Amino acid sequence: MGTVYTGNNISPVAFFERLSKFIAVLRSLGLNTGTSELSDAIRALAAVDVLDRKQFRLALRATLVKKQRDARVFDLAFDRFFAPDEVKEQWRRQEAEEAVELEQLMQSSEEEIMAGVSRSGGEWAGGAAEQIKLTEQQLETYTRLPENERNRIRSLLESYRGNPVNDPSNLIAQVVESSLDYWRYHLNKKEDEQGETRPNYDVGYYGDQEADEVIRSVARDLVREPEESLLEKDMRAIGEQDMPAVTVLLKKMARRLATGLSRRYRGSRKKQAIDIRRTVRGSIQYGGIPLYLRYRSKRVQKPRLVLVCDVSASMARYARLIIQFIYGLTDVVKDIETFIFSEDLERITPQLARRLGFAQTMSVVMSESGQWGKTTNLAASLRTFTTNYQHLLTRNTFFIIVSDTKTLEPENTALLLGEIKKRVKDVLWLNTLPHREWQDVRTVELLGQTVRLLESNTLSQLERSMKRL
């Protein structure tokens, strides 16, 4: 192979290791890249001039990008990973400067709080400053507080005065920590309600400094882009002003998933239909000449989807988006049964089948429903399902539940789901709770022992979860 476009000559072994690392970066960023793709990339690069950046880039793009959305991730990762060393060093300095600026701001906040604590209890409360242990999250919260709220905390601290009998040191420390925890919750909730939550691009890190720098910077760039920002934003925080853009995204997602569900093929030795993708892949080693044709046959079975969506008060905003996603799927995938529930179960498949347009369909569903916005009792809903719709449970059925797991009768719910699971292909629970909150909700662990729980509180997570089909 000789050289690769980095400005330096490297050995074939070093080139292979570097290419492997780049593919690992793409995998961490969500692309489906592995040993097969690595093999394809090496064969493609053997047919181009790897010293030509354009040829090198196009060869990798052609073999590693499989979806339209992956193209943007690939371009960002390529530009970062194969940038000249001096450019990378400039990025590192900029990132280090931002980190120092943040650290100084946090330190200033801590000094300001500690000064107030030291003054608050007078000579009897000297131990408060030693007792208080502020976390990074609490300090970050203090930096976000408006000035009038900072003054309120300072005034509160000044109101404490110690005496020889009652040393308020411990109380003062608790007040400061509790106040900051409260304001962190309050500010995050306010951002959620206003649709201003700062999204995080869901990535996994590789464990290598250079690779992780690329992953971190690409993830940061992606969440700044309007479409990616919506994909990574908690669905609860999506405002009405975002709905036109979200509608377009949901249609794209539904179209991609519907194509996968309705046009699944498998490899075949019978000469029925040429598998273009596998034929092209195999031809790379022969300079692009398709010496050997690969064939495919269509899979006979298609999955049946049964969707049971929670429309209780805490789930209403999620439900609207997820039902819209399913509504888009019905254009191509016909065998979908859709139910909503809160205190009991309702079938809404006929309303979705009218094709009145989503806005009018939802108006009809909500006006005719007796469940929208009530409390959650999945056990009662599952009992209704098994009584009236048991015929939908087949070995080719995916039973999909959308909820935050907060339900009455959780033990009975787990038992009923266990019985349903015996009769279907799989039971998937799309959990709208962020994964960081799972440990605080008892029902998550209980229900997770029976069915697969998939984090689905953003649009991108929803799409990944549905792809498990």
Q: How far apart are CA 388 and CA 347, in angstroms?
A: 10
Which conformational region is residue 2 in: left (phi greater than 0), alpha (psi within -120 to 50 degrees), or beta?
left
**Top-ranked range on mean pLDDT: pick from 261-265, 297-301, 355-359, 368-372:** 368-372
Residue 408 near residue 438, CB atoms below 8 Å: no
Contact (Cβ atoms closer than 8 angstroms) between residue 205 and residue 215? yes
Question: CA triplet 127, 131, 136: central angle to 5 degrees?
Answer: 140
Which amino acid would we find at residue 206?
A: Y
* Of 277 and 11, the one with more pLDDT: 11
| Residue 383: closest CA among 415, 406, 407, 405 | 415
Tokens describing residue 174: 């608790």
Q: To the nearest whole percent, how much of the chain has pLDDT over 90?
A: 15
Measured CA to CA, the distance from residue 137 to residue 106 in angstroms comes to: 10
Average pLDDT, the chain: 75
Q: No. of H helices and E strands in the chain?
A: 20, 9
Largest CA distance in the chain: 94
Instruction: Report the alpha-carbon angle 214-217-219, nearest 5.
Output: 105
Reply yes or no on whether the pLDDT at 400 is more than 60: yes
pLDDT of residue 280 exceeding 70: no
Which 3 state secondary structure label does DSSP give 305?
A: strand
Across 274-296, b (16+ Cβ under 10 Å) vs e yields ebeebbebbbbbeeeeeeeebbb
304-310/336-341 β-pairing: parallel
pLDDT of residue 194: 47
The structure tokens 């943007």 sit at 72
DSSP state of 9: B
Position 195 scores a pLDDT of 44
Residue with the bigger pLDDT between 446 and 182: it is: 446
Give pLDDT, residue 296. 63
> Is residue 201 pLDDT above 60, yes or no?
no
pLDDT digits (tens, 9 = 90+) for 87-105: 888 877 877 777 777 677 7
More confident residue, 288 or 218: 218
Residue indicated by tokens 């009792």: 377
pLDDT, one tens digit per residue, over 409-430 is 999 999 999 999 999 989 999 9
CA 281, 284, 286, 288 dihedral sign is positive
Q: The tokens of 166 are what?
A: 């009652």
List Cα–Cα distances, 220 to 54, 79, 291, 447, in angstroms: 25, 14, 44, 34
Q: What are phi and psi of 450, to 5 degrees?
A: -110, -40
pLDDT of residue 415: 95
Q: Which of 71-85, 139-153, 381-395 has the lowest mean pLDDT?
A: 139-153
pLDDT exceeds 50 at position 27: yes
> At residue 82, what is the residue type?
F
Q: Are 359 and 328 a contacting pair, CB within 8 Å? A: no
Residue in 103, 190, 114 with CA at minimum distance from that of residue 146: 190
Q: 3-12, 303-312, 341-350: which range is least confident on average?
A: 3-12
Q: Is 287 left (phi over 0), alpha (psi -120 to 50) or beta?
A: left
Query: Which domains does the chain carry?
Result: 108-193 (no CATH), 265-298 (no CATH), 304-466 (3.40.50.410)
Task: Determine the Cα–Cα distance for residues 418 and 436; give it in Å rounded to an integer.
Answer: 26
- d(C-alpha 118, C-alpha 158), whole Å: 10
Identify the CA nearest to 332 among candidates 264, 418, 392, 234. Answer: 264
Query: Does the pLDDT at position 438 exceed 80?
Result: yes
Amino acid at 449: Q
Determine phi and psi for 401, rounding to 5 degrees: -110, 135
**pLDDT value of position 308:** 92
**Percentage of residues in the chain having pLDDT higher than 70:** 63
Res. 276: pLDDT tops 70: no
Mean pLDDT of 275-293: 64
8 A C-beta contact, residue 229 and residue 184: no
pLDDT number for residue 7: 46
Segment 303-329 mean pLDDT: 82
Q: Which is more confident, 8 or 353?
A: 353
Give the pLDDT band (50/70/90) at residue 273: low
Distance CA 364, CA 445 (A): 36
Of 146, 132, 231, 230, the residue nearest 186 (C-alpha):
146
Could you identify the residue written with the tokens 């242990």? 133
> How far from each other are the two terminal CA atoms of the chain, in whole angstroms?
40
Report the pLDDT value the prediction gives residue 37, as an integer from 0 to 100: 86
- Report helix, strand or coil for 126: coil
Q: What is the pLDDT of residues 17-26, one digit of tens each?
A: 888 889 988 8
| pLDDT over 90 (residue 216) | no
